[in-house]
Amino acid sequence: MNIPYYGFLAGLPVWSTILLGAALLLGVIFVGAPLWLTTVAITALAFAFGLPWWGWVLLVPPLTVLLLPPLRRALLSNRLLQLMRSSGFLPAISDTEREAIAAGTVWLDGELFSGKPDLARLATADYPDLSDEERAFLDGPVEEVCRMTDDWRVHQERDLPPEVWDYLKKERFFGLIIGKQFGGLGLSPTANSAVVTKLTSRSMPLAITVMVPNSLGPAELLSHYGTEAQKQRWLPALATGDEIPCFALTEPGAGSDAGAIRSTGVVFRAEDGTLMLRLSWNKRYITLAAVASVLGLAFQLHDPDNLLGKGPQPGITCALIPTSTKGVVLGRRHDPMGVPFYNCPTTGAAVVGPLEDAIIGGAAGAGRGWQMLMECLAAGRGISRPATAVGGAQLVARAVGAYAAVRQQFGLPIGRFEGIEEPLARIAGANYLMEASRRYVCGALDAGQKPAVVTAIAKYNTTEIWRSVINDGMDVLGGAAISRGPRNLLANSYAGTPICITVEGANILTRTLMIFGQGAIRCHPYAFREIDAIARNDQHAFDRSFWPHVGHVVRNSVRALLLGLTRGRLTWSPVPGAAGRHWRRLNWASAEFALLADVAMGALGGDLKRKEKITGRFADWFSWLFLASATLRRFEAEGRRNEDLPLLHWSLDTAFARMQQAREGLFDNLRLPVLGHALRWPGGLWARLNPFGKGPTDATGQGAARTLLQPGSQRDRLTQRIHVPNDPHSALGRLEHALQLCSDAEPVLKKLKDAVRQGRLPKARPAQLLDQACEGGILSEAERRLVQDAETARSEAIAVDSFTLDEYLRSSEQGASELAGSR
């Protein structure tokens, strides 16, 4: 073959030259060079290769069309736009969907969706901690209310004790998010989350009672959208707990699809000319409603006489109604899995109030309710539920680790058996990554971000991981987790787990519709702009987003190919050391995710929305990309501690294995027009031959599990957000006490074993050798006492509660009669 080429290429063999040229071109595309630069590179290569005249004829016209916008629009973009409009290729988006998608901001999710994430940005994103004032609140009133609350008693008496309610009000627990100018504590999202985390570790009803007034509800809506008069009227009283709020959105026919609410508010003019509202509703599952003095309400506003000038149906609106208003019906309760917090239905018929007072934001807020709710949910979803999940998981880690260390079989702690090591490793690793995600997301919220997709990822994944952590915890504790009573640390949390899964966006829907469905449009660098341009028939806007999108797909194809071939090694890590390989794999996984997402969106268009098994797998892949970066960020923020390497590796190996599972599922199940088999066979085979990861090794799991079995600073750091009682007679305190003593006694037991091995003592259980060992001078008196104390503490720690028949019947009768009394 005789290709004429010039300059420095002269003299090189033809195939080397072709390879060199291809490498240069791929390199230019790999780094994401703009179209003009890529064109220059192509032209230069063509020239260097001495492209014949007919090659130039083929090359120049398309490049010219692509580079000149007026020509490109006239010849290509406008036609494509019309084709897409007439074929109905892209999803029709309803107004409520549009507002949900537009709510909030795009944060690091945009990086991960791009296929070319800025790793340095991920590695240095905000990771703030508490201020001194916030820490003092955590160490003071939060610790104190934990000490005051006995979860068993709360469950028996089916309410928090009066002194706890009073203390919560006195210390302004109901005003965590209310600004200081209104008498609240004005805590940051990080601190709000830390409070809920700690309270959860003590008692779920306590945490929920504090959490609800501080999440999506009257205080938050008023702070952002209330009129000055409304803020002055309500916020100081909400901060002190003089007013107790609830927020009612859910109805029998509108749960996950909250936009379908049927409750109504009708605008009318009173005789004195004041604008009034007449409200009717039927709501259910409303937390705190039975004890609320002010009811936040979402309803469809009707204005038949157009008194507000917004048409007859202004849309979903939020209002505040004092529960003492005539027509408000409260009082009944639901029983959410036996967890004793107030959760209730409420109805109202022809409840009348002045419109300017009632509607949040006054008349200007009419019809803005959905937008308000979506904006607040975009941020709030990242706080309460992840905090609940982390608080519960840290308690499991602490309690289960201690139990596995002190409970023995065949003279060995059960935590040393490989079968138990597996769930312990999962508990430890999950804790490391859940806390990483909680802090990472709160850092964004502290900085004023409202990342809707990231908070959905945080809510869905932390609550699902929590569900597996509590299951593992129950298994390791065995009968001790099942036998209810004051000593049981897990049973109540286990029962309450489905609550976290269902509220603030039920998990199935959050996974399949929000994380990827919403994410694909919101986080994608071009999709939302394209859909918007098509909907508005805006030719310029379409042209400005469509062609960069094509370039984006070409770049990600090259990146996915090259990073796949090198398993990420073609890229750099933003940090040195052991985490580097994970960062590089993250880059690779992001490139392939972005490419496959574009292929699916391009081939399926609006149909993708209905293929929830596919969107669910994309959501998993995207979620684990995010959780992996959060965990890597934690490792950096905490100074790359060597002792944390097993936890880091366990978390990242798990993350890549979960991405791989989603990847294989996608290749197996994506049924795409035209591309179908090409994608399934070579793509699926390639994915299996070249996996992102296979999960943690047994050795990594062992390292992770061992972090829970020893008292010390690493275990303390892993569980640092929870309340650990000092009282050795409390449930967790008893385990802690036993763990410390058993750990202190280990060297003494080793002395005994050595003496047996040397024949200085007979073969027997350690407890039977103590006297002889003391008499023989092998142990001191203090050492003998230590072993005896450790054995006593060990027996105490593994004991479970039992009741006389009378006590047993009384406790169930008490619950039943209080339930009957509340009807």
Ligand X SMILES: Cc1cc2nc3c(=O)[nH]c(=O)nc-3n(C[C@H](O)[C@H](O)[C@H](O)COP(=O)(O)OP(=O)(O)OC[C@H]3O[C@@H](n4cnc5c(N)ncnc54)[C@H](O)[C@@H]3O)c2cc1C
Residues annotated as catalytic (active site), given as ranges: 504
Task: Name the minimum Å distance from CB 375 to ligand X.
Answer: 16
696-725: which residues touch ligand X (CB under 6 A)? none
Residue in the structure block whose two tokens are 């929000």 = 514
The CB-of-346 to ligand X minimum distance in angstroms stands at 10
Instruction: Name the segment binding ligand X (CB under 6 A); options: 250-258, 471-479, 696-704, 800-808.
Output: 250-258
Out of 119, 297, 328, 499, name the contact with ligand X by CB under 6 A: 499
β-pairing verdict for 343-354 and 328-329: antiparallel
CB of 756 to ligand X, least distance (A): 56
User: 């509607």: which residue's tokens?
Assistant: 359
* 248 versus 330: smaller Cβ distance to ligand X: 248
Q: Which one, 613 or 688, has the nearer CB to ligand X?
A: 613
At 812, list the tokens. 């169930």
Helix intervals (H) in 605-644: 612-637
- Which of 385-421 are b and which e, b meaning 16 or more Cβ less than 10 Å from the residue's Cβ? bbbbbbbbbbbbbbbbbbbbbbbeeeeebbbbeeebb
Name which of residues 388 to 407 contact ligand X (CB under 6 A).
Answer: none
> What residues are paired with 315 via a beta bridge?
301
Interface stretch with ligand X, choices 110-118, 169-177, 413-421, 495-503 (CB under 6 A): 495-503
* Integer CA distances (angstroms), 551 to 170, 404, 628, 779, in order: 59, 55, 27, 76
| 255 makes contact with ligand X (CB under 6 A) | yes
Which stretch, 248-256, 344-352, 706-714, 777-785, contacts ligand X (CB under 6 A)? 248-256
Task: State the residue number with the nearest CB to ligand X.
Answer: 255
Counting contacts by CB under 6 A, is residue 250 touching ligand X?
yes
Compute the CA torsion angle 763, 764, 768, 774 (nearest 10 deg): 20
130 is a site residue for ligand X (CB under 6 A): no
Minimum separation from the CB atom of position 162 to ligand X (A): 23
Q: Apex CA 802: angle with CA 801 and CA 805, to 5°?
A: 150
Q: Are 244 and 295 in contact (CB under 8 A)?
A: no
Best CA proximity match to 632, nearest among 593, 556, 577, 591: 577
Q: Which of 175, 189, 241, 336 binds ligand X (CB under 6 A)?
A: 336
- Of 340 and 646, the one with the shorter C-beta distance to ligand X is 340
CB of 732 to ligand X, least distance (A): 25
> Tokens 């972090």 map to which residue?
707
Q: 398 and 428 in contact (C-beta within 8 Å)?
A: no
Radius of gyration of the chain (CA): 31
Residues within window 559-618 making contact with ligand X, judged by CB under 6 A: 612
Nearer to ligand X, 43 or 502 (CB): 502
Residues from 10 through 49 that contact ligand X (CB under 6 A): none
By C-beta, is 250 or 493 nearer to ligand X?
250
Q: Is 512 in the site for ligand X (CB under 6 A)?
A: yes
- Within 8 A by CB and 6+ apart from 235, the residues are 175, 178, 179, 182, 183, 184, 219, 222, 223, 226
Among 106, 249, 266, 372, binds ligand X (CB under 6 A): 249
Bridge partners, 295 (sequence order): 246, 321
Contact residue for ligand X among 44, 509, 603, 657 (CB under 6 A): 509
> With binding defined as CB under 6 A, does residue 285 bind ligand X?
yes
Which range of residues in 10-18, 309-317, 497-505, 737-745 is near ligand X by CB under 6 A? 497-505
- Given a contact cutoff of 8 angstroms between Cβ atoms, the answer to whether 182 and 236 are in contact is yes
Q: What angle do CA 173, 176, 178 make, to 5 degrees?
A: 125
Which range, of 279-287, 412-420, 545-553, 561-569, touches ligand X by CB under 6 A?
279-287
285/432 with CB nearer ligand X: 285
Nearer to ligand X, 614 or 709 (CB): 614
Instruction: Kindly indicate which of the ranges 91-99, 318-326, 479-487, 504-512 contains the residues binding ligand X, using the contact rule CB under 6 A.
Output: 504-512
Q: Considering only residues 59, 363, 364, 506, which one is a binding residue for ligand X as defined by CB under 6 A?
A: 506
Cβ-based neighbours of 496, under 8 Å, separated by 6 or more: 204, 336, 337, 339
- Amino acid (one-letter) located at 211: M
Helix (H, G, I), strand (E, B) or coil at 759: coil
- Sole residue written with tokens 């003590």: 202
Closest CA to 691 of 665, 661, 669: 661
Minimum CB distance to ligand X, residue 505 (Å): 7
Q: Select from 215, 325, 341, 352 the least CA-distant residue to 289.
A: 341
Stretch touching ligand X by CB under 6 A, among 73-81, 285-293, 617-625, 685-693? 285-293
Contact assessment for residue 728 and residue 741, using Cβ atoms and an 8 Å cutoff:
no
Among positions 197, 343, 492, 571, the unique one binding ligand X when judged by CB under 6 A: 343
Q: How many CB atoms lie within 10 A of CB 52?
A: 12
What are the distances in angstroms from CA 572 to CA 45, 289, 568, 578, 693?
27, 54, 8, 13, 19
Q: Which is nearer to ligand X, 420 or 619 (CB)?
A: 619
DSSP 32: T
Q: In this chain, which of 20, 508, 541, 774 binds ligand X, going by CB under 6 A? A: 508
For ligand X, the closer CB: 17 or 287: 287
Extract the tokens encoding 23: 């490498």
Among 420, 465, 503, 786, the residue binding ligand X under the rule CB under 6 A is 503
CA distance 240 to 705: 44
286 contributes a contact to ligand X by CB under 6 A: yes
CB of 335 to ligand X, least distance (A): 10
Least separation in angstroms between residue 338's CB and ligand X is: 11
Judged by beta carbon, residue 245 or residue 314, the one nearer ligand X is 245
Decide: is 502 part of the binding site for ligand X (CB under 6 A).
yes
CB of residue 149 to ligand X, shortest distance in Å: 19
Residue 513 is a binding residue for ligand X (CB under 6 A): yes
Fill in the per-residue mask, 205 to 244: x = in contact with ligand X (CB under 6 A), - = not in contact. Answer: ----------------------------------------
Of 100-108, 247-255, 438-446, 797-805: span binding ligand X (CB under 6 A)? 247-255
Strands 294-302 and 245-248: parallel
Q: Smaller CB distance to ligand X: residue 498 or 728?
A: 498
Of residues 389 and 420, the one with the C-beta less far from ligand X = 389
The distance of Cα 135 from the centroid of its chain, to the nearest Å, equals 23
For residue 301, give both structure tokens.
Answer: 């506003």
Query: Contact between 248 and ligand X (CB under 6 A)?
Result: yes
If one counts every other C-beta atom within 10 angstroms of the C-beta of residue 646, the result is 23
Summarize as ranges the residues that interact with ligand X (CB under 6 A).
246-250, 255-256, 285-287, 336, 343, 499, 502-503, 506, 508-509, 512-513, 612
